[in-house]
Structure 1
Amino acid sequence: MARQSSTADRVKKVMVEALDLSLHPDQLDDDLSLYSPVIRMDSLNLLRLIVALEEEFDGQIDDEDVMEADLENVDNLIDLVDKRLAS
């Protein structure tokens, strides 16, 4: 599934850049919690990340989609992007 892999790589790259994470995108495991000490997700970081993803994928994610998504880990975020931006 090359498209999912490509989407995952792009999402992880954007996460590292937008959230100023001090690690390489390859170090973000799909099952890593968005609320872990590594990612430190909060409402401001989530907004910053969604805007960066919308720019990267040249699209828009509706607020309702974000609120309804089960954004617990990196994989959930990749799924949201794949469904709303990468298609």
Structure 2
Amino acid sequence: MNMHYEWDAETIRIEESANGEDTEFAIEIVRHDPFAESMKRVQAHFEANEVHTDVLFYAYPGHRYQVIVRKDYYVDFLLELMKHRLLRALEWK
């Protein structure tokens, strides 16, 4: 089973690719207000937990992020994006 997700292209751009066993996301926040703050909350959520290698965030100018997600945290990461309204739909396929 795979996860299928959708986002509003006027709010965020997401590209997903394989990175070995992990998944890499290239994310750009297009509508900065209030969604740039939402992305910071997603980052803070994963940085505050006890597992430091679950989701790695690399921030770049222009509200762009490279995010590397361990295989076993893929669903958790997508759920956190959904929770902060960065995704508009999330379902199992």
For normalisation by structure 2, the TM-score amounts to 0.38
For normalisation by structure 1, the TM-score amounts to 0.40
Higher share in strand: 2
- Structure label with greater radius of gyration: 2
